[in-house]
Amino acid sequence: MNTLLRRKIDSYLLAWKSNPYRKPLIVKGARQIGKTRSIEWFARQNYKNVISINFVEQSKYRNIFDDGYEVNNILKNISLLNPDIIFIPGDTIFFFDEIQACPNCATALKFFKLDGRFDVICSGSLMGINYREIESNSVGYKEDYEMHSMDFEEFLWAKGYDDKVIEDLYQHMLEVKPLSQLQVDIMLALFRDYIITGGMPEVVNTYIVNKTFSGTLPLQQQLLKDYEEDITKYAVGLDKAKIKTIYNNISAFLAKENKRFLITKLAKNARNRDYVGCVDWLADAGVINICYCMNVPELPLKGNYNPSLYKIYFRDTGLLIASLDEESQEDLRANKNMGTYKGAIYENIVADMLVKQGYRLYYFNGNNPALEMDFFIRDAHSLIPIEVKANDGATASLNKLIISDKYPDVKYGIKLGYKNIGFNGRFYTFPYYLTFLLKRFVREHHTL
């Protein structure tokens, strides 16, 4: 049994359709995050006529651009392949799926826009997508939307919680008003379930239908295998074995104290220069998030980092969990005990939640003076350090960054942990599960 999961792209697509100047849309993202299902549901609900073409499953349609990109030529060739297809100007949407298998489709988007009779949405997996080639096509005549696996808000929707519940959580943040013990207990239990399931729609749906984790692990393990197979299939021009080695060692480095990913520790005589492009390939494929070490904790963020110093996180924390050894997984699922991976799991999910809000990831680790910080974001005027505490330990680095005159861009900080909502004059404390509301909070709150 499959339930239709509410996704954030749903409202985006409705807004796109309501724009009289809309351009052809490309929805990109990692495989199996729900792109196709969301687009098909939207199309069926909002158009009289839907023409859906999958360039992987229906490879014969890759030739519809052989006579050029004029829309009439494309329509003629589609009709030759399937004379039953009809075209209704003004009420037809073309859904071109798996466009990584047909880069010519992206070139045609300019002509669909200029023609104006039909709406177009394309979708493709970032894994192996010739996206740099596709990106250069139809510049100015298309719109891009990157979709992710389900965030915690979408997970709450799937569990039956409505926008009023989420708005109430946000108002508590905005007013710096502690949550009730009932809210804390319920949200923490839900968040721990979300950590284990992650946000892959099929996994979440299985968890919702079964009301347990039964059947979720095999799905996650299959996804890990599918990603590995895709590396073999799509990693053109790069050393596939090296990409696989990086992919298979992410959790091992996250288990270490500083969590920094070191190419030189992957194999005997491994050198950074031999792995150039491999980490970026995994990031471009939507498999990992990269968190770069800042040179100095100051603005601007972009350009102020060392590209050779970084941590690697899984894009989906459920897949991180599925990559752990069997004993750790069993303990986590049965007893909610995260063991030695606790710090890695919380950092990974915070990284994922930040990226899903549109943030790039940065951290800092300095020796003189000793100073480290898990993440940084910013508001209009200041740099905001974020500390992720797997236990309720000291916050020396956070205090140092805020108090010291050496870091004038830092006005306040945020500490994420098991604590309730609070503010001590220097930094805000929020429970982990409210991370999905941070961007809104940072944009709308007034610094004290």
- For residue 324, which of 261, 414, 254, 232 has the smallest C-alpha distance? 254
Render pLDDT for 67-118 as a digit per residue (tens, 0 to 9).
Answer: 999 999 999 999 999 999 999 999 999 999 999 889 899 999 999 999 999 9
Instruction: Output phi, psi for 210, to 5 deg.
Output: -85, -15
Mean pLDDT, the chain, integer: 90
Q: Residue 298 has what DSSP assignment?
A: -
Angstrom distance (rounded) from CA 88 to CA 351: 45
Contacts of 327 (CB under 8 A, 6+ apart): none
- Both tokens of 205, joined, read 């749906």
Predicted pLDDT of residue 448: 43
Helix (H, G, I), strand (E, B) or coil at 252: helix
Q: Strand, coil or helix: what is 150?
A: coil
Q: Would you state the structure tokens that stand for residue 20, as one six-digit string? A: 């009289």
Q: Within 10 Å of residue 211's Cβ, how many Cβ atoms?
A: 7
Q: What strands, in cross-sheet order, belong to the sheet with 143-146?
A: 49-54, 92-97, 119-125, 25-29, 143-146
Place of tokens 């350009």: 303
Parallel, antiparallel, or unpaired for β 25-29 and 143-146?
parallel
State the burial class of residue 163 (Cβ atoms within 10 Å of its Cβ: 0-12, 13-18, 19+). exposed
128 φ/ψ sector (left φ>0, alpha ψ -120 to 50, else beta): left
Those residues of the chain that have pLDDT short of 70 are 1-3, 127-138, 334-340, 368-369, 390-394, 446-448
Q: Are 347 and 329 in contact (CB under 8 A)?
A: no
Specify whether the CB–CB gap between 344 and 320 falls below 8 A.
yes
Structure confidence by residue, pLDDT tens digits, 344-369: 899 999 999 999 999 999 999 987 66
Helix (H) or strand (E) run with residue 231 in it: helix 216-234
Whether pTM > 0.85 for this model: the answer is: yes
Report the distance separating Cα 329 and Cα 314, nearest Å: 16
Q: What are phi and psi of 9, to 5 degrees?
A: -65, -20
Looking at residue 1, its pLDDT comes to 46
C-alpha distances out from residue 287 to 154, 233, 290, 374, Å: 20, 15, 10, 21
Alpha helices in 235-369, H assignment, sequence order: 240-248, 250-254, 278-284, 317-323, 326-335, 342-355
Residue 433, SS3 per DSSP: helix
Q: How many residues does the chain have?
A: 448
pLDDT single digits (tens) 165-186: 999 999 999 999 999 999 999 9
Preceding omega of 89 cis (within 30 degrees of 0): no
Q: Which amino acid is at 93?
A: I
- 144: DSSP letter: E
* pLDDT at residue 131, rounded to an integer: 52
